[in-house]
Structure 1
């Protein structure tokens, strides 16, 4: 390796997933040790194993385990120019019990003001990407000034990601160069979100995943193009005003009122239990829509007739038969609101609701269905005959379909699946079939892309 060009060695080292591995390479190679200061990124993650060893070192005097924070500070002091920092704790540490952590422990409190001040000034000029994933059991009860410190020092920062912490925005300065912000499992308040709107005016990507503490949250960003917002609590209302937004993924529980004003929105995924007051400014540019709700039929009717949507995915959240006062889910309803669909995907719970409400005479073909080309459904095959009748209702009405994809749950007995597949292919031999398997939490797998298995 010592014979490789220095530029290539630097490229190889920069691609290593853990800066601790780079440090080990320094010990084995004089060349690597000499070029090491030229690296421009730090990626240091505390594993569960390291955490357990650090606990044992407190009771074992022979355990010479360098503190995690000290390792990071050494890395910062040894590099000349740092453009990217990724510092955090591995996912398994999320399962550590509060009972296993001392009340005042801060060895993995990575958004600690004192710790951040030790290194932020050394990386401020060149840093353009920063990611910190804190140790929740140590950070959740202590409010951090990480955001104000970053805004004070890192004027060239473009991408910022913070996870598992309680953040303060007091004395937050504007960061006009910041275009991407991710906050995951962060505690904030309404006034904090207002400060983010004001101080990060040029955000193009915003991810708020499990950010709690809001009552009346509002996102008002003029340059935002992509947003993923997962609301962990149940605020009374949500407001999104984003004139240039193209992609929105919104997951919430039961806001009393939901207001979305995004005239350029093209891709929209909405998941919620129910919204009594769901205000939708007509989406003239919307092409792809995903809807998930306890009462999917009622949610669909919240939308005005939308002729520009061509791709639709629907699902129910733990649907219960006969929800009082709520509209049932039918294909007639889908094509009434979205008459120009070319592609429809019905996930498992929505399909179960459709089967429960099956009535072959309950809906008629629409002119708009002539452009309907691809159909996908996730099946449980609880009653194969009923499922077959429901599939027939779709295929016999939608004669223009060119491709049908059906995924059968992995727990269905093999001979039942094979019998159902054979029956479908014999009934509609002209259809291009795609058959697959699915299960919650496991990636879908396709077992056939051809007309014959």
Structure 2
């Protein structure tokens, strides 16, 4: 059977399937460009594809390149035209996702001077061509703009969405300069993501007022904020990456359970989240830091060059069971501020699991070898230690490990991830020595590398 006969046979078999099953199959195509191709395959697919309730179209780098090339740009259908055609031919759309692929997001305005608007996707004139028609049934919108076209154009797309989409549940906007002028309340919206967005302080206040029902909030690289404040009564999960150094940063969220906060060096940091149980905090330097009523906090992850000061600011440490510590620039750890595990065990006496990143491990080991670390009482509750290790001197590293095992009398599980550049024979000797000195512990081994997923080798050797 030749390829054309095979394709024809497939089309006939698809036509014979129940319409509901064909719609289910088509709904599993994540890329609407594939859906558009299916419309050309048969009359049945063409008709039933219009029942798919989402549109997801991303402009690829290859399409962008061809649209700029003198040899091909005349035959490339504009990206916005393709999107509008998909929207207009769909009967019911509940989810819309339109944007540019990751390679395009990495292009900066300095690299390409582009004053066109063919990929300016938060352009209110473009969005107004398709949004009002869908607004009644839309549940989710995601727009990932092309930064070099959007960064110097202030968009009022937020106001348009708030005016039209009264049933919207999830909204995601990326790579744009947004205006909040004439923003209306959206009481149905429970999830909001703003990523690499330019806002002002008063704009964030408007977000608090107009999206009162938010349960999930992601603010990633939102710039232009001097004294930002989140005050949301129903918020449960929040990720906030602050790209500048604000004068103050405040979070008031009585129902917040999970928080990931990354900021440089705020003048003051106030967190009032009494139900918080999972907290990931990354600070360049701890200064005026206040966290109140954190008795529900069970899992804590801290990352800072100034770990010792940051650890000391947690008066609620007795409730924490799972702790992860790290310090950036681990290769410079010998020159960083003093840090000992004595202070960690004093502040967090009831730990069951401790994870040490390479920076925290190196600082702790250095302090121990200098005689600056003496753990007074045994850590009886600690069951698991996971450490990413850089072995400079095997005898020193082994001494530190055995010291920890001596103080953690009920430790059952020790996992060591050794840096991938450490010689195999050194890693092997360390493993054998650890197992010989403490057979009561279950040993796990692996390797780690910057920016890569940990590689677990085995239990034991």
Structure 1 residue 438 and structure 2 residue 438: aligned?
A: no
- Cα distance between partner residues in 2 of 1:99 and 1:8: 49
1:236-275 deviation digits (Å, cap 9, x = unpaired): 1110000000000000001111000000000000000113
State the match for 1:13 in structure 2. Answer: 26
- Cα distance between partner residues in 2 of 1:297 and 1:224: 30
Q: 1:255 to 1:61 in 2, by over 3 A?
A: closer
Q: 1:53 to 1:62 in 2, by over 3 A?
A: closer
Among residues 418, 421, 427, which one is paired with 1:417 in the alignment? 427
> Structure 1 residue 3: deviation in Å?
1.9
State the match for 2:305 in structure 1. Answer: 294
Q: 1:320 to 1:404 in 2, by over 3 A?
A: closer
Contact 1:295 1:317 in 2 (8 A): no
Counterparts of residues 25-424 of structure 1 (less than 5 Å): 25-56=38-69, 59-60=70-71, 63-98=74-109, 101-318=112-329, 320-321=333-334, 323=336, 328-359=338-369, 362-366=373-377, 369-424=379-434
The RMSD of aligned alpha carbons is: 1.5
> Structure 1 residue 321: deviation in Å?
3.7
- Cα distance between partner residues in 1 of 2:410 and 2:344: 17
Out of 144-153 and 276-285, give the one that drifted further: 276-285
Among residues 23, 26, 36, which one is paired with 2:36 in the alignment? 23
Out of 108-117 and 356-365, give the one that drifted further: 356-365
- Cα distance between partner residues in 2 of 1:232 and 1:100: 21
1:12-60 deviation digits (Å, cap 9, x = unpaired): 111112101111111112211111221110010000000001111xx23
Q: How many residues align?
A: 445
Q: 1:11 to 1:347 in 2, by over 3 A?
A: same
> Structure 1 residue 104: deviation in Å?
2.4
Q: 1:293 to 1:99 in 2, by over 3 A?
A: closer
State the match for 1:3 in structure 2. Answer: 16
1:263-303 deviation digits (Å, cap 9, x = unpaired): 00000000001132111213110000000001111110111
> Structure 1 residue 101: deviation in Å?
4.2
Contact 2:286 2:309 in 1 (8 A): no
Aligned to 1:435, the other structure's residue is in SS state: strand
Q: 1:282 to 1:113 in 2, by over 3 A?
A: same
Stretches of structure 1 that go unaligned for 5 or more consecutive residues are none
Contact 2:23 2:48 in 1 (8 A): yes
- Cα distance between partner residues in 2 of 1:390 and 1:240: 39
Out of 161-170 and 305-314, give the one that drifted further: 305-314
- Cα distance between partner residues in 1 of 2:441 and 2:286: 39
After TM superposition, the score normalised by the length of structure 1 is 0.95
Among residues 420, 426, 434, which one is paired with 2:436 in the alignment? 426
Stretches of structure 2 that go unaligned for 5 or more consecutive residues are 1-13
- Cα distance between partner residues in 1 of 2:43 and 2:68: 34
Contact 1:258 1:275 in 2 (8 A): no
Aligned to 1:421, the other structure's residue is in SS state: helix
1:63-101 deviation digits (Å, cap 9, x = unpaired): 411100000100110011110001000000123343664
Contact 1:305 1:336 in 2 (8 A): no
After TM superposition, the score normalised by the length of structure 2 is 0.94
Contact 2:196 2:222 in 1 (8 A): yes
> Structure 1 residue 361: deviation in Å?
7.8
- Cα distance between partner residues in 2 of 1:361 and 1:171: 59
Out of 295-304 and 155-164, give the one that drifted further: 295-304
> Structure 1 residue 167: deviation in Å?
0.5
- Cα distance between partner residues in 1 of 2:183 and 2:380: 55
> Structure 1 residue 320: deviation in Å?
4.7
- Cα distance between partner residues in 1 of 2:326 and 2:183: 41
